[in-house]
Structure 1
Amino acid sequence: MELVIDGKALNHVLPDPGLRRSLALLCSRGVAWCSRVMKSYTRGRQLLKAPIMLSIGDGANDVAMLQAADVGVGLMGREGRQAANSADYVLPNFRHLIPLLFVHGSLCRHRLARLASYSFYKNVAFWAVLFAFQPFCGWSGQAIVDDISAAVYNVVFTALPILMFALLDRHAPDADLLATPRLYQARGAALASSEFWMSGVLLGLAH
């Protein structure tokens, strides 16, 4: 379903609480907001109460909108580089927006979720060894690992696996990510799922 609202219609909707609730309900599953006026964009964001907003612009009149959004994407167009200089990401053409969101965005989300899980795993595993040694030293707090090894554990010993993972891991081919945008949402709850607790906490205790 597509919903198009111009400035006059928006001015008619905002003063009416019932119409505001109806519009927010229609846009609750996602909305693309097209506006040439910063005031309209700001009022629309307040109306929709969206947790994350992405804005796209290619001219000097879009600078304020790009800076107000959570993620700003600037296009290098004929109107200069003002939008590109004020954006979080810069694209040469509008057609690169879909790969940015569904390929690079999905991979980044997947890898960051794995990074958080791996950080819990390696630290829980290290802590479990220290805790398991305590009954044998009379719960005196003596460490079984020397200070140098403990200091370089996170920097040297466990840095290479996650580095290679961040460079090489792909949970799906690029073509599948572009053809199936639902895969982006499928990886969204990785940190809140049982997979995180199994691989990040319980697996660390088991090792």
Structure 2
Amino acid sequence: MYGDDSVFEEAIIAEYALVINGHSLAHALEPQLEVLFLDLACLCKSVICCRVTPMQKAQVVELVKRHKRAVTPVVGDGANDVSMIKTSHIGVGISGQEGMQAVLASDFSFAQFRYLQRLLLWFITLFNIVYTSLPVLAMGLFDQDVNDQNSLRHPGLYKSGQSHLLFNKRQFFLCTLHGISTSFLLFFVPYGAFSVMVKEDGSQLSDQQTLAVTIATSLVIVVSVQIGLDTHYWTGVNHLFVWGSLTMYFAVLFAMHSDGLFGIFPNTFSCVGASRNCLSETSVWLVILLTTAVCIVPDLFIRSIRVNLFPTQTDKLRRLQQSRKKQRPQEQNLRRVRRTSSRRSAYAFSHQQGFGELITSGKNMRANRISSTCPHERTAPSSNFIDNVIKRTNVVSCVSFGSPNKHQSDTE
């Protein structure tokens, strides 16, 4: 019915299971037969190896790791599963009646097998730690809706928090709805765009790695822009975390798809050049820009309507605070001009008596700027004035020295 490819066609349309015991597995794991055994096992929906030794379990796991380059999770509940758990990439131990040997040798452990379903829902969360969590942390630590002075002047700002208006079931539902809608847009906008796009040479652009890189890049950019819109008080730490997270993302992205890491860890970093080939296409950046705009523009529209038509007391104070910041530079410039216009000199009070008149007169001891080029002409007015002061000082001194003698003659 199927011709020469009848076995292949039957393997695709039917479901097979392979059951093999330890004695037969020992022959199947021989060097000349192990690849054939692996190919046969991959055609089956399930493979059961029964009555096998701990070493044979580890050999089966190593066979899949070496030839298929796949991530191998292994579940075990006894001491005979320890070697298999240590050979795999991800070891899962179940604590039970056979002791704790499997739990101690595993990466993850739980009490019952049914908890394995929740364990399989865990994904790589590097973007939540490095790419997006640090800007959120900086926002939570340093952000201020209004400054501390306005907070003290307007105690009514605290009523919204006391009345649970900032965080309640309605706000939680809206945030959840916003996150779900953003996730749908992040996936379906690139998916729909790549379904009708091709490269410049006419080849297909919608491969799995291109779609994954585009969605991840759009996600990090959208989250960073959203954090920037929610931040009202920018500090150096905020700028460092926001722009640093974007820089860190692209650095890690290109490093994961580099030739160097593939040479060191070929099983883990197998997608060589995926990010370089993807981000070198202009159409990919247009898709990223379109996805970012579709996710951010509705939020900007809702924010503008809420702030302009339904402003809260915090929005009003924030707008007043921004208008005052614009007026402060003009006032500071006026103050600087007034300070530079004064040219009065200051003197200490330890001078002779004649300098008191000079201080109270408000005249300047510096040489007046005269257009004359002769040096002695420029200093003449100042020197004459000082000479007059010195003469008056001498006269006052003579009078002070003569007054005691006069008083003594009167007493005689």
Shift of 1:43: 2.0
Kindly report which structure 2 residues correspond to 1:126-165, keeping only aligned pairs within 5 A, or say none: 153=135, 155-157=137-139
The whole-number CA distance in structure 2 between the counterparts of 1:79 and 1:196 is 44
Tell me if 1:42 matches 2:75: no
Tell me if 1:195 matches 2:215: yes
| CA 31–69 in structure 1, closer or farther in 2 if over 3 Å, else same | farther
Equivalences, count: 146
Shift of 1:16: 5.9
| CA 191–84 in structure 1, closer or farther in 2 if over 3 Å, else same | farther
| CA 6–90 in structure 1, closer or farther in 2 if over 3 Å, else same | same
Query: In structure 2, what is the equivalent of residue 76 of structure 1?
Result: 95
Shift of 1:90: 1.6
Query: In structure 2, what is the equivalent of residue 112 of structure 1?
Result: 125
Tell me if 1:25 matches 2:29: no
SS state of the match for residue 27, structure 1? helix
Structure with max Cα Rg: 2
| CA 157–74 in structure 1, closer or farther in 2 if over 3 Å, else same | same
| CA 63–16 in structure 1, closer or farther in 2 if over 3 Å, else same | closer
TM-score normalised by the chain length of structure 2: 0.29
Higher normalized contact order (CA 8 Å, seq sep 6+, divided by chain length):
1
Instruction: Tell me which of 6, 15, 27 is aligned to 1:12.
Output: 27
CA contact (8 A) 1:55 1:66 kept: yes
Code of the residue aligned with 1:21 in structure 2: it is V
Code of the residue aligned with 2:212 in structure 1: it is A
Aligned-pair identity (%): 26
Code of the residue aligned with 2:55 in structure 1: it is K
Instruction: Tell me which of 74, 99, 124 is aligned to 2:118.
Output: 99
Code of the residue aligned with 1:115 in structure 2: it is N
Gaps of 5+ in 1: 123-151, 172-187
